Amino acid sequence: MPIADDAPLPQPDLLAAIPRLRRYARVLTGDVHRADDLVQDTLARAWEKRRLWTAGSDLRAWLFTIMHNVFVNQRALARRDRMHVSLDDGEGSEAWQIPVRAGQYTRVELTELVAHVGRLPTDQREVLLLAAVEELKYEEIALALEIPLGTVMSRLSRARAKLRLAFADAPAATPLKVVK
């Protein structure tokens, strides 16, 4: 049921969502400060549009939707103003450190992986992050990015194929049997 016009969004849930929003924004924008700007704008927009959120529904998924909209609008403006937006043209900006916990991957492997993800076209990068890292459902991703479900799946498939190519020692990734 929709919340009353003046009802606040649940602050603890918003606070709890911030680390994930920041993380996604970083890989999206390639820059720590721009990422935080994007998160701040997203939160401000969420408050403006709070009537659109249904109490009890997934706040995080809704916030990703808002962030996507804000991001797209900002990129459109930036393109119009001929501002250089890094990572869009394939140049990685290593504006972050990858902290590495003891685990099975080395810092080098992880840094390379994130760099490759950063070089993916934005639309593939978004889908891969939301599916693999944020673990949103495909339907939620479709809503967040305002694309059909089929497009989510095809972008995901292309993203994975590109990653695999980037890491392959062996010959190029086997083309999948695509049957509609």
- The reply on whether position 176 binds other proteins by CB under 8 A is yes
Shortest Å, Cβ 26 to other proteins: 7
CB closer to other proteins out of 34 and 160: 160
Of the residues 36, 74, 86, 92, which one makes contact with other proteins according to CB under 8 A:
36
Map the footprint of other proteins across residues 117-156, applying CB under 8 A: 117, 128-129, 131-138, 150, 153-154, 156
Overall residue count recorded for the chain in this entry? 180
Which residue reads 């083309």 in tokens? Answer: 175
Of the residues 28, 39, 143, 145, which one makes contact with other proteins according to CB under 8 A:
39
Long-range contacts of 160-169 (CB under 8 A, 24+ apart): 160/128, 162/116, 162/120, 162/124, 163/113, 163/116, 163/117, 163/120, 163/128, 166/116, 167/112, 167/113, 167/116
CB closer to other proteins out of 79 and 137: 137
Map the footprint of other proteins across residues 62-91, applying CB under 8 A: none
CB closer to other proteins out of 52 and 79: 52
- Residue 121 per-residue DSSP state: -
CB closer to other proteins out of 81 and 178: 178
Of the residues 72, 85, 95, 98, which one makes contact with other proteins according to CB under 8 A:
98
- The reply on whether position 55 binds other proteins by CB under 8 A is yes
CB closer to other proteins out of 26 and 68: 26
Helix 59-80 vs helix 138-145: crossing angle, to nearest 10: 40
Query: How far apart, in Å, do the first and last CA atoms of the chain sit?
Result: 38
Radius of gyration of the chain (CA): 18
